Amino acid sequence: MFRKINNWCIGALAVMLMTGTFEAQAQPDGATLFKQCATCHSPFKDGTGPKLQGVREKWNSGGAKDGSIYHWVKDWEAAAAADPYAANETKVKPGSMMKFPTLSNEEIDAIFDYVDAQVENKPAAPVAGGDGNVEVVEQELPMGWIWLAFAIVLTVVVVSLGNVKNRLVLISKAKGGEDVEDVPSFIDDIKSWAWRNRKLTAFLILCVVIGVFVALFLGLYTIDVKEGYHPSQPIEFPHSVHAGINGIDCRYCHNVVTESKSASLPTVNVCMNCHKQVTGTTPEQQEKIKKIYEAAGWDGNQFTGKTKEIVWNKVHVLPDHVYFSHEQHVTAGNVDCMQCHGDMKKRTETAQVMPVSELNKIEGNIQLTKPTLTMGWCIECHDQKGISDGPLDTKKDGYYAEIHKRLLENDPKLYEQYMKDGKVSVKELGGWECIKCHY
């Protein structure tokens, strides 16, 4: 009995996995896709971006060109150049909409369909890292699960019908006075077929397993691409003037970056260390620096006590289930800030998630291909980057030398294999293990 249950469980699982993966490709999932918009947009409320419910209708009836709204989502700048209606939309918060060049029209429609289907007044939780007033809409049961449930039910029905048929044969034989041996059940039929064609069966199972893995990984590589993300900030803080021209060390403002998980952002007191005196040369600068004074409650001579926090919008955001530590990369791994954030000394605008194509232009950076901040990006670097350039590097505290020494003592053969390419990569030390990055 249990063997049977076991068997059809496996069958059902295979069907589930297959339909699951096909489903994921066939139909774009508006709820998931909308997550990348939800940091700025809510269906019903204006936040960083305007509310999105009914926006397609608004554009169509407002006189936008055909297909202009898709163009907008893919590249608002190009859309604004091509369509006066779109150009008008850029006036809400100029330059703050993100570009999504990889979304297809179907996917964009799926997002709008999802948004239009939302009903207001549902209790909603705020999004971490986004605007305080942005809402996450409650997740609907995704279509994928409905298909899965359907696949399970179907499998159960097929198997039961097969068994019923065999039972009927058995009964009719018994009635006819025939000698009744145990007629093979439907599952037994399948099993014996599989046994007779075991090579084919093995091949089919292998195909399914490989297919599932490939689909899974291709999916993981590109989930939730944040490249180019450039939120607006309360003060137009230029890194170029500070870290560049004035040569201020990154750690002056991001003061825990070498010793903790987070890099931290400076408080207004840090700004005031200099800006009590530095009031700006041009009127433009003075205007910007005035905002620091408002936040610090500084009237030019003394602190009034009327402070107002500067709320910087977070630029680099990883999902909650990912663990990333600056100390591990900057101090232990000796990776330069530029590798992941670009050359901030030259950055005249506020910070942005630099596209990998830009990062690759910086001399000395490891060349990567996957979009910045995706899992593929992390993993690709862990494969390429050695924990040191040679077997006995001269890093002062002997950190790497110690690792190499231990590896050599524990398993000289394995060590030799690692060192074939001249390095022990982060991956070879476990940097591809799910648990290292996922809680």
State which of positions 50-69 bind ligand HEC (CB under 6 A): 50, 52, 55, 69
CA angle centred on 366, ends 347 and 228, rounded to 5°: 40
DSSP state of 98: P
User: Residue from 49, 159, 293, 298 that binds ligand HEC (CB under 6 A)?
Assistant: 49
Answer positive or negative: Cα dihedral of 107, 110, 116, 118: negative
CA–CA separation, 426 vs 432, rounded Å? 8
Is the CB of residue 162 less than 8 Å from the CB of residue 186? yes
Enumerate residues 252-311 that contact ligand HEC by CB under 6 A. 252-254, 257, 262-266, 270-271, 273-275, 278, 280-281, 285, 288-289, 292
Choose between 176 and 283: whose C-beta lies nearer to ligand HEC.
Answer: 283
Choose between 1 and 434: whose C-beta lies nearer to ligand HEC.
Answer: 434
CA–CA separation, 334 vs 201, rounded Å? 50
- Least distance to ligand HEC, CB of residue 177, Å: 60
Enumerate residues 133-192 that contact ligand HEC by CB under 6 A. none
Expressed in percent and rounded to 5, the helix, strand and coil fractions of the chain are 55, 0, 45
Choose between 173 and 314: whose C-beta lies nearer to ligand HEC.
Answer: 314
CA–CA separation, 56 vs 113, rounded Å? 9
Q: Helix axis angle, 375-384 relative to 198-222, nearest 10°?
A: 100
CA–CA separation, 97 vs 381, rounded Å? 29
User: Residue from 126, 390, 412, 430 that binds ligand HEC (CB under 6 A)?
Assistant: 430
Convert 247-265 to b/e letters by CB count within 10 Å (16 or more is b): eeebeebbbebeeeeebee
- Least distance to ligand HEC, CB of residue 116, Å: 12
Residue 111 near ligand HEC by CB under 6 A: yes
Binding range to ligand HEC, per CB under 6 A, among 148-156, 164-172, 181-189, 342-350: 342-350
- Least distance to ligand HEC, CB of residue 193, Å: 34
Question: Looking up tokens 């029905």, which residue turns up?
Answer: 157
Binding range to ligand HEC, per CB under 6 A, among 120-128, 137-145, 148-156, 379-387: 379-387
Site string for ligand HEC, 79-98 (x = CB under 6 A): ----------xxxxxx-xxx
- Exposure of 66 in the CB half-sphere (CA atoms within 13 A): 0
Site string for ligand HEC, 186-225 (x = CB under 6 A): ----------------------------------x--xx-
Binding range to ligand HEC, per CB under 6 A, among 1-9, 183-191, 239-247, 416-424: 239-247
